[in-house]
Amino acid sequence: MCVHAHPDDESSKGAGMMARYVREGVEVLVVTCTGGERGDVLNPKMDRPEVQENLPRIRSEEMARAREILGVEQHWLGFTDSGLPDGWLPDSGIDLPEDAFYLVPTEDAAAPLVEIMRSFKPHVVTTYDEEGGYPHPDHVKTHEISVAAFDAAGDPGRYTDRGEPWQPLKLYYNHSFGKARIEALHYAMVDAGLDSPYREWMDAGDWTRDKGERVTTRVECAEYFDIRDAALKAHATQVDPDGFWFAVPREIQQKAWPTEDYELVESRIESRLPEDDLFAGLR
């Protein structure tokens, strides 16, 4: 089970891993917490009034296409996108809309996720780290309810109206953009005589939020990057096929950084670190 904040997050964070496991016969469920209702149209080719006016419906249709490409099951949790006001941080004091996912008490917001965990019975759960991967209110809330549900799903004394208890065995955080990966892709582009989309990042040299040292598990999935890219392009309102996400040729990505990377943060079974498989110890 991979828990994400918005439609498109599943395709930009861990899609190669999911594509691999689906094709190895693993059941994979994406849980999407919100509909992305307050998102923007980020692809200039799609930035038209009729698209913005119908964005919730269109994003749902995009999710359906991405779900089919990846081969995963998917469940909408049903909360409302919080939006991302300029300057928002968890302690900034900047107001969010009253119906924002972020403002739902964690105990309440985790309840439907507990029910899905007990129904689907995942052995492995992935989600975002304590900062949400980046400080978006919906990503932070997704982290909070994922951790809460992981702990509560197996407890027969909690959420007694949400199905029979089931304890997932391993909880991971996604780590998509660590310093080592960015450097590897950047220098691979330079060596190929191409313009690197990460040059400004390299020049800035600000790695204060790098969490690369926390990675415990690198899942080889380079041969599935084509499926990952197709799923990401299915979210046409969010991703410009000629933009940043696709500036590094796939062949260079496959050679320079062929894995998707995770941090094992809780395990109810013994597993030796480092790992190359989210199911290490479970096979």
Residue 142 near residue 2, CB atoms below 8 Å: no
Nearest to 109 by CA among 178, 62, 162: 162
Would you state the structure tokens that stand for residue 8, as one six-digit string? 């498109």
Return d(Cα 116, Cα 122) in angstroms, integer.
9
DSSP class of residue 281 equals T
State the binding site for Zn(2+): 6, 9, 139
Greatest pairwise CA separation for the chain in angstroms: 60
CB atoms closer than 10 angstroms to residue 139: 25
Handedness of CA 94, 100, 101, 105 (dihedral sign): positive
Judging by DSSP bridges, how do beta strands 73-79 and 217-220 pair with one another?
Answer: unpaired
If DSSP codes are grouped into helix, strand and coil, which group holds residue 125?
strand
Q: Which residues are annotated binding-site positions?
A: 6, 9, 139
8 A C-beta contact, residue 259 and residue 268: no
